[in-house]
Amino acid sequence: MQEKRIDAPLREDIRQLGGLLGSTLYEQDGEPLYNTVEEIRRLSKDARAGVPGAAEQLSSMLAGLDDAMIMPVVRAFSNFLNLANIAEQHHRIRRSRAWLRDPKSAPLRGSLEEAFERLAEAVEPQELYETVCRLEIELVLTAHPTEVTRRSLLQKYNRIAELLDQQDRLDSTPEEIEEVHQALQREIIAAWHTDEIRRRRPSPVDEARWGLAVIEQTLWNVMPRYMRRLDKILKRKTGHHLPLDVAPIRFGSWMGGDRDGNPRVTARVTREVCLLNRWMAVELYERELNPIISELSLQCVDEDLRKLVPGRWEPYRVLLKRLRARLRITRSWIEARLEGRHPPDGEILLEASDLKATLLACYHSLQRCGAGVVADGRLLDLIRRVTAFGLTLMRVDIRQEASRHTDALDAITRELGLGSYAEWTEDQREAFLIRELGNRRPLIPREFEPDDEVREVLDTFQMIAELGPDSLGAYVISMASQPSDILAVELLQQEAGIRHYLRVVPLFETLDDLTGAEACIEHLMQIPWYRNRIQGYQEVMIGYSDSGKDAGHLTAAWTLYKTQERLVAVARRQGIKLTLFHGRGGSIGRGGGPTHAAILSQPPGSVAGCLRATEQGEVIQAKFGLPGIALRNLEVYTTAVLETTLQAAQPLQQPWRDIMDRLAQLATETYRGVVRENPDFIEYFRHATPEHEISMLTIGSRPARRSPTQGVNSLRAIPWVFAWTQTRLLLPAWLGIGESLQRALDSGDAALLKSMYRDWPFFRAFLDMVEMVLAKGDPAVAAWYDNRLVPSELQPLGERMRGQFDKTLRAVLEITGHEQPLDDFPVTQRSVIVRNPYVDPLNLLQVELLYRVRHGKEENLRKALMVCINGIAAGMRNTG
């Protein structure tokens, strides 16, 4: 009953938005469409409720729609699901701040207030303060999977969320409420008449501009709010303010820098994106500076500031106008470089410290003169922004596959007559690399003329040398496996004359590479040149996507856990500081899921105040698209890392390790037995899912496959997950888990598994995520695809997999003790139940569209199919 009361406003918002959409359909497209949509909705709800004959009537009605009616019906249900998403996001904001209105209500788990209340009782105030000041959290925005919703629509959806917020105000008059209602109607009509599909595939620069829009429209204003709130509670609980040079959270980016398998990301593109980041930073700083200049007409100054502007009237304005002039010169310099012109001379701001020095001089002067209240307003917010965003907003990582560096060095050694680097053993490669790293003479001949791919690799390193340190973050090597992979990048940096070396970060992705990560890093630590280079600091990235595609979700999760344990042990033995960079995706099978639980479930010592993590495509919009949700997510990252850092390490029980090893072995055998060893699997996959059609979506700049072959190995992890999400089978997230859990249950390990779920955060978070996937999944929906699209001789494979889904659900529920999936998460449970009657028609329509498109009606219905794919993604809240 309490949960229903909490959710009553959400249900009212969905009812209102659904009603406005209905009236839009009636008024804009006529009564026939409205009546058709209403009848489909009624039948879908009846089918979910088990009304006899409703499912058959629904299927028959949708199969009988003519081509002209399919598109508006698909759009209607897709629009509703997007509106439901907006309402749910707004409700999350509503609940997160409910405690501010009612002192008796408890703050949400993971909020600053809730976490600091608990932590202040467990640790000394000074330890809590120092730990906060040492936090280093970097959220790295990536474009893959790209947000499927067009930016034009996202802006309308954000406006709808703002209007719902206005509507919640208790002091609104009837006239104001009516104005909000009319504004909502306008936005919904505008969305209805806006094309959902991009006309062209975005370029890497387009993706980078989208990332900048997230900073400009949300995070730029949320970060000062977050830091004010953190400062306030830190002062209350420890007696200290947050220092002006501390920003626990910063932002990085792969947009425009991730060239792994994406030929469209070139040295020219990365240079342009880095300059665009700088241009936007200068633009935003000038916007903030203008009202501060207007505000600081004060005459009171301390001696330090008076020396900077001796004898001047309104000294703060004089000083800040000088700074504004430098910003404008810097912007002109950036624009010239973007246009390929010679930049004009002038006092260009190249480092954040140049910008910050003037602001700090004003701040400290105001504090000393008794105008601290003024200093702690806009000026302090701007100083905090400089601390968090610097002069580039987010530093761009370079990512490239290890084999591309091997190819470059192979071309060089062949040119020099030294043989084939690619054919050398690991020992031979290391000996060569270490020798050359200690040699000051150039390695690459001046007359060297490599092929285009090698030239692009070398051009990338030249671009790094030109840009300097502030624009770029790390150099990430995907598919890293050997020490030579890391040393190769170090040598190429040296050859390019890079003065401020990028830190080199190996990315271990496949099962074998994760297992070998410990030996690789340990070996590197034995190389004196490398130990001297890293100066006691090593960053390692671990990949969730390819490991899951390689061996299944359970085995990947357990291998990632053990890999982190071993890397932490290496760091301790070698006396170095380790930062783990988590390449998490949006879906459960790619490491996605609730942030707080995911961080708290990491191995002891693996999050020692430092964390880097990717935030990908659609997840960026979901987490940071609205100010209230962005603020909540920044708090959750902070408190989770803080708690994990301060909590006492609990040794893992050996029986838990032993059973996890057994579970992982059986899960891998089951997973690979289906995905790799069954000769019918690939053919079944291509018929039963829209995998091929997804590649036609213009949602990202990167190709769907690493290579033109048709196997699962060549398919990128994102479309692999996306295809199964569309059919509601969600196979990558659970395949193999049910068999392994059931075997353990049958062997008498039920009590042990239940104790693991109760007492081990890792296992509990893992099973909770699997249960969430199973709640979203529906084998009956997947069967619609088989019955209509899959040849009869392949259909038994689908039947077996749906049986495995059911087995997995039964085993998970037995261990969690739940009667239904998500019993511990009633809000999410209700969200799934509410969405099903609206996603079901889209699935049925997608089956029909796939059938028609694959049988010769492609041109007429391709766009409707694309909209349908987007709509199901909205309903499932996931692409990949």
Residue 533: which residues within 8 A CB-CB, separation 6 or more? 490, 501
Q: In this structure, is residue 213 part of a structural domain?
A: no
846 and 726 within one domain:
yes
From 90, 144, 596, 776, active-site residue: 144
- The whole-angstrom separation of Cα 150 and Cα 460 is 31
- The whole-angstrom separation of Cα 878 and Cα 880 is 6
660 and 528 within one domain:
no
DSSP 8-state class, residue 651? P
pLDDT at site 587: 53
Residue 580 has which token pair?
A: 């783990």
DSSP 8-state class, residue 242? P
Cα angle vertex 142, ends 206, 549, to 5°?
125
171 and 60 within one domain:
yes
175 and 74 within one domain:
yes
Q: In this structure, is residue 181 part of a structural domain?
A: yes
SS3 503: strand
Work out how many domains the chain is built from and give that number: 3
Residue 349 has which token pair?
A: 């701001």
- The whole-angstrom separation of Cα 840 and Cα 40 is 10
Question: Which of 534, 761, 791, 805 has its CA nearest to residue 656?
Answer: 761
Question: Which of 82, 83, 110 has its CA nearest to residue 95?
Answer: 110
- The whole-angstrom separation of Cα 361 and Cα 382 is 13
Cα 210 to Cα 215, 249, 396, 672: the distances in Å are 9, 20, 14, 38
Q: In this structure, is residue 230 part of a structural domain?
A: no
Cα angle vertex 46, ends 44, 51, to 5°?
135
- The whole-angstrom separation of Cα 395 and Cα 879 is 26
85 and 189 within one domain:
yes
pLDDT at site 173: 80
Secondary structure (H, E, C), 660-678: HHHHHHHHHHHHHHHHCCC
- The whole-angstrom separation of Cα 404 and Cα 422 is 11
668 and 543 within one domain:
no
- The whole-angstrom separation of Cα 838 and Cα 21 is 14
List the beta strands (DSSP E) in 135-216: 136-142
Strand partners, 253: 141, 396
Q: Is the dihedral of CA 207, 209, 214, 215 positive or negative?
A: positive
Q: In this structure, is residue 356 part of a structural domain?
A: no
Question: Which of 255, 325, 264 has its CA nearest to residue 290?
Answer: 325
- The whole-angstrom separation of Cα 781 and Cα 802 is 10
Write out the residue range of the structural domain in which residue 421 sits.
Answer: 396-582
174 and 56 within one domain:
yes
Residue 367 has which token pair?
A: 């504090």
658 and 578 within one domain:
no
Q: Are 292 and 334 in contact (CB under 8 A)?
A: no
Strand partners, 251: 139
Boundary of a domain, candidates 194, 229, 245: 194
CATH number of the domain to which 404 belongs? 3.20.20
Cα 403 to Cα 409, 490, 651, 704, 712: the distances in Å are 10, 15, 39, 19, 20
- 126 burial via Cβ count (<10 Å: 0-12, 13-18, 19+): exposed
Q: Where are the alpha helices (DSSP H) in 49-173?
A: 54-63, 67-96, 98-101, 112-122, 125-134, 151-168
Q: In this structure, is residue 455 part of a structural domain?
A: yes
Residue 425: which residues within 8 A CB-CB, separation 6 or more? none
578 and 695 within one domain:
no
Q: Is the dihedral of CA 218, 220, 221, 222 positive or negative?
A: positive
The pair phi, psi for residue 110, each rounded to 5°, is 90, -10
State the virtual CA torsion across 870, 872, 875, 876 in degrees, nearest 10: -110
The pair phi, psi for residue 680, each rounded to 5°, is -90, -5
The H-or-E segment that residue 612 falls in is strand 610-616
Q: What is the distance in angstroms between the CA of the first residue and the CA of the last residue of the chain?
A: 35
Cα 751 to Cα 98, 655, 660, 746, 816: the distances in Å are 39, 12, 14, 11, 11
Residue 13: which residues within 8 A CB-CB, separation 6 or more? 87, 90, 91, 164
Residue 61 has which token pair?
A: 């009605």
**Cβ-count burial 823-847 (b if 16+ within 10 Å, e if not):** eebeebbbbbebbbbbbbbbbbbbb
Residue 868: which residues within 8 A CB-CB, separation 6 or more? 74, 78, 842, 845, 846, 849
Prior bond of 604 cis (ω within 30°)? no
What's the Rg (C-alpha) of the chain? 28
Express each pLDDT in 315-342 by its tens digit.
Answer: 999 999 999 999 999 999 999 999 988 8
Is 144 labeled as catalytic in the residue annotation?
yes
Boundary of a domain, candidates 558, 582, 606: 582
- The whole-angstrom separation of Cα 686 and Cα 790 is 9
Residue 2: which residues within 8 A CB-CB, separation 6 or more? none
pLDDT at site 850: 93
Q: In this structure, is residue 588 part of a structural domain?
A: no
Q: Are 792 and 786 in contact (CB under 8 A)?
A: no
Secondary structure (H, E, C), 246-311: CCCEEEEECCCCECCCCCCCCHHHHHHHHHHHHHHHHHHHHHHHHHHHHHCCCCCCCHHHHHHCCC
From 90, 237, 549, 553, active-site residue: 549
Q: Are 699 and 850 in contact (CB under 8 A)?
A: no
- The whole-angstrom separation of Cα 238 and Cα 284 is 33
821 and 685 within one domain:
yes
Cα 366 to Cα 17, 229, 304, 385, 765: the distances in Å are 49, 22, 11, 19, 49
The H-or-E segment that residue 611 falls in is strand 610-616
pLDDT at site 685: 95
661 and 523 within one domain:
no
- The whole-angstrom separation of Cα 490 and Cα 524 is 12
Q: In this structure, is residue 364 part of a structural domain?
A: no
Q: Where are the alpha helices (DSSP H) in 390-540?
A: 402-415, 426-437, 452-467, 483-495, 511-515, 517-525, 528-534
669 and 537 within one domain:
no
Boundary of a domain, candidates 528, 557, 582: 582
The H-or-E segment that residue 842 falls in is helix 826-853
Q: Angle of helix 858-876 relative to helix 67-96, nearest 10 degrees?
A: 20
Q: In this structure, is residue 249 part of a structural domain?
A: no
Total residue length of the chain: 880
Segments of the chain with pLDDT less than 70? 1-6, 98-105, 144-150, 170, 198-199, 585-593, 696-718, 857-860, 878-880
Question: Which of 253, 249, 251, 252 has its CA nearest to residue 638?
Answer: 249
Query: What is the separation of C-alpha 864 from the centre of its chain, rounded to a whole number of angstroms?
Result: 28
